Structure 1
Amino acid sequence: MRFASGLGWRTDGRLRPKTRPDLLRMVSPPDISPATTAVTTSRGSDPTITARAEIVAKELGCPMLRRGGLSIAEVRDSTGRENLIVVTTEQVRLVAGGSVFWFHPNMARSRIEAMLRSEYDRLVEFAGVTTGDRVFDATGGLGSDAIVFAHAAGQSGHVCAVERSEILSAIVRHGSRYYEHRNREVIKAMRRVMFTCDDSSELLKTEADRTWDVVYFDPMFDVTYKTSQGLDLVRRLASLEPVRPGAIDQACRVARRCVVMKDREEGERLKALGFRDISQRGKLAYGRITM
């Protein structure tokens, strides 16, 4: 079996999107949403891959086109959609303009491997996540932190990762089901995460008091992507809306132990939202409200 490796987006080695000649018709599409996206498969796909693609298309409300021997450009032209989700044996890829993005656990893999060596994970320790815990990740994103939480919580725990972006949520949800790696602990943790697409601020309102041990926020930072061009596609997919005070209030209501949020090293957003217990180290700060 071929194991995936490297970044979950194609780059030229300097964190810039790598381009392909057949994908250059539109280098910077203005919108990446179900309305501008179609679903297809890899060339020569079997019925299993086709069925997976049909599920993705149905969930997103996108047209599904059987690939056959067509190139990506030909598939895109035939659908009139600027962006394609391509389902393969081990990946669910987004092709947008000249960039390709797919699910990859990224730092979650090395963090779990470090934890297996009994090394310290800063976020897990700060949030106090242990075996059997229930963790609500209100900003699922690429899923890396949720996967690490799932490893820490173990088989008896429960981790829900909520992502507002329909396209990003679909790629992470389905990609995490089929991603393979030789480290089975990483795979087991990944498969345990319940990835869902929703507005976490609204979803929190429906949760009963003290339902989750930990509620976690990791808002996307504009400044991060000024020097990380390879992540530009992810930035355009994810919601850039700031975390509102109302969401923190709801999180405090449903959390049994604590609410944790990530911020840049200055921690200004944390302070503005009422976080007083702040851990600052390197380029990141974590804030905690203890119940």
Structure 2
Amino acid sequence: MQLLITTSYDPQTEQLELAAHVTEKLQELSGLAEPVRIVSRRQFSIPQLRKRYGSQDVLLVSRERLEYYHDQQPVMFFHPSTAAIRVKRLMNGEPDTLMQLSAVMPGDRILDCTAGLGSDAIVYSFALAGNGEVTALESKALPYLLLSEGLKSYRSEIPGMDEAMRRIRVRQTDHYNYLKSLPDKSFDVVYFDPMFRRPIRESSSIGAIRDLADPRAVTPDAIAEAVRAARRCVILKEHRGSKEFDRLGFCEIHRSTTKIAYGVIRL
């Protein structure tokens, strides 16, 4: 179904320019001839636009952010989500399980192969405090756009968090193809947080992106390339009861008090 792109009421010049940029970028990334259509908002509500143009998918360029309306799902937009809570805990000297398992240290290069909306990439970037780099990969065009634009424009009230978001390098690409292109030991940590094979239904932030995200499971070949490209470790986040750890060769498993677990391959 065609995606409509529009603005908030009475758009300013910056919104119109961003709407045009987003339209061009989505056409370029999706590889389709006419996957999107930019339309004037005038005084139409989102439901009225949907009815007028026969489309359930609308990307709204508001004054604050990009908002994606899909079918009857809750509106989706970039937000640091749990990263904000985790960053505050790091500031208070509290441990973060993923950062501990990664043994993050100054100068590290981190590769997040399945970025989604970037929560873990933000925590990695904050932990490095500008001494190192985080590269985040997202294969799907719309999540990539929400993430890349959100990281550039989101404003938080947490000291150092905005700077951490701006430092993340985002690329729209398939993680397996990207890993294959890397020289040996290119990154200190290679991280995977794919769509869980067994969803956690209570997670509203994940539920909003599930229909847009790449549904494919991580392959053994991708893990093999990750092991080759990593210097310290490869980490997989999954449901604590997932069989993916065994299938993909993760023997070191750390189960939290929540419903998630981390598998680690040490190198």
Q: Secondary structure at the match of 1:181?
A: coil
Counterpart of 1:131 in structure 2 is 106
Q: Secondary structure at the match of 1:170?
A: helix
What is the Cα-based RMSD across aligned positions, in Å? 1.8
Counterpart of 2:33 in structure 1 is none
CA-CA distance at 1:271 after TM superposition: 2.1
Counterpart of 1:22 in structure 2 is none
Aligned residue pairs: how many?
257
Q: Please, which of 25, 35, 46 is the counterpart of residue 72 of structure 1?
A: 46
- Give % identity: 33
Q: Please, which of 255, 260, 263 is the counterpart of residue 230 of structure 2?
A: 255
The alpha-carbon distance between structure 1 residues 91 and 224, as it changes in their structure 2 partners (threshold 3 A), is same
On the 8 A contact 1:92/1:102 being kept in 2, the answer is: yes
Task: Work out the CA distance in 2 between the residues paired with 1:233 and 1:280.
Answer: 25
On the 8 A contact 2:198/2:242 being kept in 1, the answer is: no
CA-CA distance at 1:285 after TM superposition: 1.5
1:276 and 2:251 matched: yes
On the 8 A contact 1:50/1:66 being kept in 2, the answer is: no
1:202-241 matched pairs, under 5 angstroms: 202-228=177-203, 231-241=206-216
On the 8 A contact 2:139/2:174 being kept in 1, the answer is: yes
1:44 and 2:10 matched: yes
Q: Which amino acid aligns with 2:183?
A: A
Structure 1 window deviating more from structure 2 (76-85 vs 258-267): it is: 76-85
Can you list the C-alpha shifts for 1:235-271, whole angstroms capped at 9, x where unaligned? Answer: 1111121110000011011111111111221353112
CA-CA distance at 1:124 after TM superposition: 0.5
On the 8 A contact 1:252/1:259 being kept in 2, the answer is: yes
Q: Which amino acid aligns with 1:171?
A: L
Structure 1 window deviating more from structure 2 (257-266 vs 134-143): it is: 257-266
1:88 and 2:62 matched: yes
Can you list the C-alpha shifts for 1:105-150, whole angstroms capped at 9, x where unaligned? Answer: 0110010111011110000110112222111101101210010011
Q: Secondary structure at the match of 1:129?
A: coil
On the 8 A contact 2:102/2:189 being kept in 1, the answer is: yes
1:289 and 2:255 matched: no
Counterpart of 1:189 in structure 2 is 164
Counterpart of 1:6 in structure 2 is none
CA-CA distance at 1:154 after TM superposition: 2.0
Counterpart of 1:150 in structure 2 is 125
Counterpart of 1:7 in structure 2 is none
Structure 1 window deviating more from structure 2 (142-151 vs 227-236): it is: 227-236
Q: Which amino acid aligns with 2:233?
A: C
Counterpart of 1:5 in structure 2 is none
Counterpart of 2:76 in structure 1 is 101
On the 8 A contact 1:137/1:162 being kept in 2, the answer is: yes
Q: Which amino acid aligns with 2:42?
A: G
Runs of 5+ in structure 1 lacking a partner? 1-34
The alpha-carbon distance between structure 1 residues 129 and 79, as it changes in their structure 2 partners (threshold 3 A), is farther
On the 8 A contact 1:40/1:84 being kept in 2, the answer is: yes
Larger RCO (CA within 8 A; separation ≥ 6): 1
Task: Work out the CA distance in 2 between the residues paired with 1:183 and 1:137.
Answer: 23
The alpha-carbon distance between structure 1 residues 127 and 118, as it changes in their structure 2 partners (threshold 3 A), is same
The alpha-carbon distance between structure 1 residues 267 and 75, as it changes in their structure 2 partners (threshold 3 A), is closer
On the 8 A contact 1:141/1:238 being kept in 2, the answer is: yes
On the 8 A contact 2:9/2:42 being kept in 1, the answer is: yes
Runs of 5+ in structure 2 lacking a partner? 28-35
Q: Which amino acid aligns with 2:17?
A: A
CA-CA distance at 1:89 after TM superposition: 2.1
Can you list the C-alpha shifts for 1:4-38, whole angstroms capped at 9, x where unaligned? Answer: xxxxxxxxxxxxxxxxxxxxxxxxxxxxxxx5312
Task: Work out the CA distance in 2 between the residues paired with 1:277 and 1:215.
Answer: 15
Q: Which amino acid aligns with 2:50?
A: R
Q: Please, which of 23, 42, 52 is the counterpart of residue 57 of structure 1?
A: 23
CA-CA distance at 1:88 after TM superposition: 1.5
Task: Work out the CA distance in 1 between the residues paired with 2:255 and 2:200.
Answer: 20
